[in-house]
């Protein structure tokens, strides 16, 4: 049985094509069953995310299976074959194993080290198990991929440090305040970046959050999602008296907070330190605010520098992760290679058992034995068979370079008819 991975990702296909080929909602279960029904495919799993659509399969003839899968993708999603001919890639055997391990470890992701892909792969594996579309080969491959990803995250720092502006903002806040559990946060604006930052703040332990947005209803909606307090935009200066961190992303064409306004706020706060992150473009916080005592103001350029530095660090860690993947590919390939010996081992044991049973019947037809004696003779015959079969079995399982020669030799010596 051979392995293959057929698919496309963010590197070779734009988002419109990925959307057309996505297995979303009921399409996933339906598509998985239809793929398994293809005569060229013996085992199959589907990984479908916003950045990739990939089919992992086990087949006797990988080239035929790849063509069948390509045809299926075209017909199932009603996408002309010429639209997917160039973007689709096909990896077989060892390269397929390497690809799946790299995907699970987020080495093939748009953002190296992102954690979502491992959860998505686990879900794909779980569905394949549930629908019984995977078997010995894919089960072992996907289990191993998950363990490889965990090893990469344990032995490298590939998932550490912020690689998004919103995450970098939270990381800086943690450096200034250390513990965010007792700090209050204000989101000035309720757009996508503010929402992402809110999620990161919650993950970092923030328990109290205030949302101020020009459209109060949108601010209220975001506040309810994160169990935060919503205030009207014109009241945000008053609300700043009670917060320690302000993240501003309003999209306004001018400053929404001047130095003079913030100076008044700081006086009323009795100069309690305030950390302000302005991720708006153009900037919404007057840069002169930085000159006020106990005010720590960062803009998007400051954060981008953090992100770039962290991306560089992740690339270094990715090199270590690639070494781990290479080691694990070799381990998996040794196991997969050993499967070639299984039919021969089964045939050898079947032949030996048939000889044993035949000779026992001959003996029992000639000699009168009681039940205890029959059991003792049968036990001895089984023990002899097991001892004789042990050396060739171990040799077949442990050999690598000369396994095919050993298989051929045993088949010839014992006239074995092992089915692959």
Residues with a known catalytic role: 50
Residue whose C-alpha is closest to residue 194's, from 176, 174, 175, 221: 221
Chain position carrying tokens 């298989």: 407
Provide the 10 A C-beta neighbour count for residue 286: 19
Provide the 10 A C-beta neighbour count for residue 89: 17
At 394, give phi and psi (nearest 5°). Answer: -60, -40
For β-strands 43-48 and 184-188, DSSP reports them as: unpaired
Query: CA-CA distance, 161 to 163, in Å (whole number)?
Result: 7
> Structure tokens of 72?
């299926």
Query: CA-CA distance, 4 to 82, in Å (whole number)?
Result: 21
> Structure tokens of 324?
């781990």
Are 297 and 287 contacting, i.e. CB atoms less than 8 angstroms apart?
Answer: yes
Strands (E), 40-98: 43-48, 52-59, 89-92
Provide the 10 A C-beta neighbour count for residue 59: 24
Residue whose C-alpha is closest to residue 314's, from 97, 176, 167: 167
Query: CA-CA distance, 310 to 160, in Å (whole number)?
Result: 8
Q: What is the DSSP string of 170-197?
A: HHHHHHHHS--TT-EEEEES-SHHHHHH
């Amino acid at each position: 049985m051979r392995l293959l991975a057929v698919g496309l990702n963010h590197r070779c296909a734009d988002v419109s094509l990925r959307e057309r080929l996505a297995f979303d909602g009921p399409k996933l279960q339906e598509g998985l069953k239809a793929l398994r029904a293809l005569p060229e495919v013996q085992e199959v799993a589907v990984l479908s995310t916003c950045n990739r659509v990939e089919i992992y399969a086990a087949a006797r003839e990988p080239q035929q299976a790849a063509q069948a899968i390509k045809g299926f993708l075209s017909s199932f999603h009603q996408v002309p074959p010429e639209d997917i001919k160039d973007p689709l890639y096909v990896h077989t055997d060892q390269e397929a194993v390497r690809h799946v391990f790299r995907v699970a470890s987020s080495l093939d992701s748009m953002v190296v080290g992102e954690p979502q892909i491992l959860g998505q792969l686990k879900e794909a594996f779980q569905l394949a198990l549930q629908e019984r579309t995977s078997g010995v080969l894919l089960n072992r491959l996907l289990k191993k991929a998950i363990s490889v990803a965990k090893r990469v995250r344990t032995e490298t720092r590939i998932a550490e440090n912020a690689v998004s502006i919103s995450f970098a903002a939270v990381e800086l806040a943690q450096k200034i305040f250390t513990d965010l559990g007792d700090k209050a946060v204000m989101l000035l604006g309720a757009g996508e970046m503010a929402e992402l930052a809110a999620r990161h703040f919650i993950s970092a332990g923030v328990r109290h959050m205030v949302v101020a947005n020009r459209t109060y209803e949108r601010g209220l909606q975001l506040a309810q999602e994160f169990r935060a307090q919503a205030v009207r935009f014109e009241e945000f200066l008053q609300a700043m008296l009670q917060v320690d961190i302000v993240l501003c992303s309003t999209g306004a064409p001018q400053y929404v907070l001047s130095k003079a306004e913030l100076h008044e706020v700081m006086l009323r706060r009795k100069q309690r330190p305030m950390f302000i992150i302005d991720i708006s473009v153009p900037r919404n916080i007057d840069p002169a605010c930085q000159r006020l005592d106990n005010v720590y103001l960062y803009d998007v350029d400051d954060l981008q520098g953090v992100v770039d530095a962290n991306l560089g660090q992740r690339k270094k860690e990715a090199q270590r992760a690639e070494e781990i993947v290479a080691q694990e590919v070799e381990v998996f390939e040794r196991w997969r290679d050993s499967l070639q010996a299984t039919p021969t081992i089964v045939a050898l044991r079947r032949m030996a058992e048939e000889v044993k049973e035949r000779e026992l019947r001959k003996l029992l037809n000639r000699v009168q034995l009681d039940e205890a004696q029959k059991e003792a003779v049968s036990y001895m015959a089984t023990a002899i068979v097991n001892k004789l079969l042990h050396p060739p079995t171990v040799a077949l399982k442990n050999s690598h370079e000369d396994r095919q020669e050993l298989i051929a030799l045993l088949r010839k010596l014992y006239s074995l008819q092992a089915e692959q």
